[in-house]
Amino acid sequence: MKRLLFSFLFLAVAVTAISQTAEEIIAKHIEAIGGAENWKKVNSVKMEGTMQVQGAEVAVTQTILHGKGSRQDISIMGMTGFSIITPEKGWNYMPFQGQATPEAMTAEDLAESQEQLDAQGNLIDYAAKGHTVEYLGKDEVDGTGCYKLKVNKKGGSPETMYIDTKTNYLLRSVTLRKANGQEAEVTTNFSNYEKLSEGIVIPKSITLPFGEMIVTKVTINGTVDEAIFKN
């Protein structure tokens, strides 16, 4: 009986330790990127950058109005497409992929894209947003030691985050995406972090499966006309 009781106590302590570790990692990460207080002041983000895709330069602009709308404009070879997401609707228009008119997102794709309306990031007040976080131990990203966290997002696919054990910056994110009835892992790498005048720290290099985006300009809390989120 004593041995059984000891086993349950050991299990309870172990589970608590894991939970506390996840909380500690999140706290250190948020502190490293400018602190929760500064991030909670972020109501809008406009990020501009360029990337090379198969030898062609692509201009990308991402505009997020917290909780209300997200718009990504992509310009290449004289053509400009867009992806718009709102809490209720979403549209994609990619003329360089043969689309003649904007197409409405399916309910599934719209649900998977809702996290893009969060200008502050999933880990800021994650519990209040309905997310849960699991600590999965340590791992490596290109030889750099990392904490591995799994973020189970409310209404969305889970995301695995790799946070540098020394800098506490996010180095890699792996998300399971669902689109058109199929699932695929999407890996995004982050580097070249820079502190902005607003006190927050962001990556200026974002490597996606199809290329590296170099962020050239970031505007925090600039005026955003909600009309840009209408098709």
What the chain holds in terms of domains, given with CATH numbers, is 2-229 (2.50.20.10)
Q: Which of 13-27, 100-114, 143-157 has the lowest mean pLDDT?
A: 13-27
Mean pLDDT of 116-124: 95
| DSSP, res 119 | S
CA distance 99 to 170: 35
- Residue 112's pLDDT band (boundaries 50, 70, 90)? confident
Specify the long-range contacts of residues 166-174, CB closer than 8 Å, at least 24 apart: 167/32, 167/193, 168/25, 168/28, 168/29, 168/31, 168/32, 168/33, 169/29, 169/32, 169/33, 169/193, 169/201, 169/203, 170/29, 170/33, 170/203, 171/141, 171/144, 171/146, 172/141, 172/146
Burial 188-227 (b: 16+ CB within 10 A, else e): bbbeebeeeeeebbbbbebbeeebebebeebebeeebeee
Q: Which of 1-5, 45-49, 158-162, 208-212 has the lowest mean pLDDT?
A: 1-5
Mean pLDDT of 99-117: 91
What residue type is 219 in one-letter code? T
- Residue 108's pLDDT band (boundaries 50, 70, 90)? confident
Q: Give pLDDT, residue 48.
A: 98
pLDDT digits (tens, 9 = 90+) for 40-89: 999 999 999 999 888 889 999 999 999 999 999 999 988 999 999 999 99
More confident residue, 214 or 178: 214
Q: What is the pTM of this model?
A: 0.86
Contacts of 214 (CB under 8 A, 6+ apart): 49, 50, 51, 204, 205
More confident residue, 231 or 25: 25
What residue type is 228 in one-letter code? I
Q: Give pLDDT, residue 152.
A: 93
Mean pLDDT of 138-148: 96
What integer best gives the mean pLDDT of the chain? 89
Percent of the chain surpassing pLDDT 90: 73
Write the CA distances from 77 to 56, 57, 80, 145, 192, integer angstroms.
8, 8, 8, 40, 28
Percent of the chain surpassing pLDDT 70: 89
CA distance 70 to 110: 12
Q: Answer yes or no: is pLDDT of 22 > 70.
A: yes
Q: Give pLDDT, residue 180.
A: 61
Q: Give pLDDT, residue 4.
A: 42
Contacts of 82 (CB under 8 A, 6+ apart): 71, 72, 73, 74, 91, 92, 93, 102
Mean pLDDT of 200-215: 94
Q: Which of 15-19, 58-62, 137-141, 209-213 has the lowest mean pLDDT?
A: 15-19
**Element spanning 10, H or E:** helix 2-32
